[in-house]
Structure 1
Amino acid sequence: MKANPQFYDYWPYENRPKIQWPNGAKLAFWVAPNIEFYELNPPVNPQRAAWPQPYPAIQGYGIRDYGNRVGHMRQMQLLDKYGIRGSISLSTALCEHHPEIIEMCKERQWEFFSHGIYNTRYTYGMSEQQEREMIKDSMATIYQHTGQHCAGYLAPALSHSEHTLDLFAEVGTELFGRDSGRWQGKESAGIYTCDLFHDDQPTPIHTRSNKRFVSVPYSLEMNDTIAYVVNKVEPRRYGEMLKHNFDRLYQEGNESGTVMCIPTHNYQVSCPHRLKAFEEALDYITSHPDVWVTTGREIAEYYLEHCYDAALGSIKQSQQAVSPGSL
């Protein structure tokens, strides 16, 4: 049994090559709305129950349906106000169930990346082939309904296997070609993960295919569901947390570019009593100079083109100096 996942190398935060974001920005800022579809009565997964209540789980289903009926419009209007294009962590079944939401996001040139098919069907217990087919289905569905080559992946309900990153990288190449990267003249596919939560800068990730692949920071600590449901913070406190998180990363961006992500859910942050604190945080962040308001795809593509090779060289030097092994 492995002592650690071995997806990436140990690489201390200090003494890394300097990241210079476009136009000299100190910080790359992106918002990742999780736009999800939950089934009222999904297939049973013996390793994880979809709902804490017996069937029918009306309460859990209802608030999530509220997100797609009401909350989505509130958040979309707010992101429009501050010139933010969402990077959607998409349950791709939404393309069939709520195509009107997909159309609104397409009109705004939002990014669509894969969050599986349903957020009530997990990777747990799947064979490698079953997971491959699920990933392939989700990426093909995004392309069919949006025309986008899916660049990023967040496992459904954060259910991750030891093969997930390898499979996503491989399926991107299988569906869209070996040269599916904008830095090589085409739109990129299967190039980044949000599943690792281990850094405040992008980092190179190992894949068995040796594809150029990165982790783009996606913060669980700033995730509205973690804040409201797990840590049970108040809306005002959540807004303060977002500002404090930004302040620190913006300060460190004086030395080398950092990344801040706010992962949201339309049934959490878009509830009426919570929206004001979120808006105040967005106003605060976007009012600062030297902030690159962008998407997950654009961060990954820029890093792969401008920073990836220097990072690999730095990692090699770090390993030669301390040889602590891989993580």
Structure 2
Amino acid sequence: MKETLSYYDYQAYRGRPKIVWPNGARLAFWVAPNIEFYELNPPANPKRQPWPHPYPAVPGYSIRDYGNRVGHMRQMRLLDKYGIRGSISLSAALCQHHPEIIELCRERDWEFFSHGIYNTRYTYGMSEEEERAMILDSMETIEQAVGTKPLGYLAPALSHSEVTLDLFAELGGLYTCDLFHDDQPTPLRVRSGRQFVSVPYSLEMNDTIAYVVNKVEPRHYGQMLKDCFDRLYQEGAESGTVMCIPTHNYQVSCPHRMRAFEEALEYITGHSDVWVTTGREIARYYADQYWMDPCSNSAAAASTEITHDR
């Protein structure tokens, strides 16, 4: 039987080492715009069909094109207004198809991390060598376009294999957004033994999950964001938490949805003790300040602990 590596161990809130963010902030807040490229007629994958109806899938493709034509500009202006640098979950093909978007974000010192090459090409069915080549291609394409190697990864369309995290770590990555198991960063155990971190990325606050899957109305989504923040800000007084809003420029940036999103951003950034940052900066700070080898028992021996009462 093939031995399977466990990426992390169970560790409840109670008894964890205390996290203090820069300048004593309670909460690290980041926004992760998914800037993606979809193909109108992608190669077939037997595990998943990208479009719900036969080619040409004009409705699905064109709303995503709307996002890159209109929605991105709208969201970018809004993030500028509140001093938020986006952490882009980037389909690397966008570097070729829409270099003007890349340049606008690079000028603003936004972070770019890998979301594969196309969001219509999945990890399902790939060999390890094929997946490694895809991840490396996406990383090299982004680095060539922006001058900085991406340190984070979110699998295209959340499609994974048993070795996705191992491969990204081996290629020089620092963090993943593909695990949705915590509200604080987690040290991960990868086969190379490299330092590797899970940075919280919330599916519950993801605008596509809210609008498409859960059928939430815009005002309700805005209130959800505020409620999520309130809880994490409260708990962050005891040990630092992370809040991420993953967005899509063809979802949250539609005209009838923007006001609720803006009100949530105004509310969150209006609080003191909030570190408005990027995924890369969260991962690097945690790795530098709080890293504990997940293969050791150092976590159990930590002297400064939190004792959340429930």
TM-score (norm. length: structure 2): 0.94
Shift of 1:145: 0.2
Shift of 1:313: 4.7
1:118 to 2:102 alignment: no
1:235 to 2:211 alignment: no
Give the secondary structure class of the aligned counterpart of 2:171: helix
Amino acid at match of 2:34: N
* Whole-angstrom CA distance in 2 between matches of 1:50 and 1:161: 18
Distance of aligned partners of 1:9 and 1:81 in 2 relative to their CA distance in 1, 3 Å threshold: same
1:293 to 2:276 alignment: yes
> Is the 1:67–1:266 contact (alpha carbons within 8 Å) kept by the matching residues of 2?
yes
1:25 to 2:9 alignment: no
* Whole-angstrom CA distance in 2 between matches of 1:91 and 1:221: 22
* Whole-angstrom CA distance in 1 between matches of 2:268 and 2:36: 26
Which residue matches 1:72? 72
Pick one of 241, 249, 264 that aligns with 1:281: 264
* Whole-angstrom CA distance in 1 between matches of 2:16 and 2:275: 21
Shift of 1:310: 8.3
Q: Residue by residue, what CA displacement relative to the aligned partner does 1:139-170 show, whole Å, maximum 9, x if unpaired?
A: 00011000011110000000011100000011
1:131 to 2:131 alignment: yes
* Whole-angstrom CA distance in 1 between matches of 2:265 and 2:297: 36
Give the secondary structure class of the aligned counterpart of 2:247: strand
> Is the 1:240–1:281 contact (alpha carbons within 8 Å) kept by the matching residues of 2?
yes
Give the secondary structure class of the aligned counterpart of 2:44: coil
> Is the 1:9–1:315 contact (alpha carbons within 8 Å) kept by the matching residues of 2?
no
Shift of 1:171: 1.2
Amino acid at match of 1:27: L
Q: Residue by residue, what CA displacement relative to the aligned partner does 1:65-111 show, whole Å, maximum 9, x if unpaired?
A: 00000000000000000000000000000000000000000000000
Which residue matches 1:183? none
Pick one of 234, 244, 255 that aligns with 1:251: 234
> Is the 1:17–1:310 contact (alpha carbons within 8 Å) kept by the matching residues of 2?
no
Which residue matches 1:185? none
| Structure 1 residue runs without a partner (length 5+) | 173-189, 319-327
Distance of aligned partners of 1:81 and 1:4 in 2 relative to their CA distance in 1, 3 Å threshold: farther
* Whole-angstrom CA distance in 1 between matches of 2:62 and 2:224: 28
| Structure 2 residue runs without a partner (length 5+) | 303-310
1:315 to 2:309 alignment: no
Percent identity (aligned): 76
* Whole-angstrom CA distance in 1 between matches of 2:44 and 2:285: 41
Which residue matches 2:308? none
Pick one of 257, 261, 269 that aligns with 2:244: 261
* Whole-angstrom CA distance in 1 between matches of 2:298 and 2:252: 39
> Is the 2:90–2:114 contact (alpha carbons within 8 Å) kept by the matching residues of 1?
yes
Shift of 1:309: 2.8
Which residue matches 2:140? 140
Give the number of equivalent residue pairs: 301
* Whole-angstrom CA distance in 1 between matches of 2:261 and 2:60: 23
* Whole-angstrom CA distance in 1 between matches of 2:297 and 2:37: 42
Give the secondary structure class of the aligned counterpart of 1:236: helix
Give the secondary structure class of the aligned counterpart of 1:292: strand
Which residue matches 2:109? 109
* Whole-angstrom CA distance in 1 between matches of 2:97 and 2:53: 24
* Whole-angstrom CA distance in 2 between matches of 1:57 and 1:247: 40
Which residue matches 1:162? 162
- CA RMSD in angstroms comes to 1.6
Q: Residue by residue, what CA displacement relative to the aligned partner does 1:113-151 show, whole Å, maximum 9, x if unpaired?
A: 000000000000000000000000000001100001111
Q: Residue by residue, what CA displacement relative to the aligned partner does 1:261-318 show, whole Å, maximum 9, x if unpaired?
A: 0000000000000000000000000000000000000000000000113886553559
* Whole-angstrom CA distance in 1 between matches of 2:145 and 2:278: 19
Distance of aligned partners of 1:95 and 1:254 in 2 relative to their CA distance in 1, 3 Å threshold: same
Which residue matches 1:214? 197
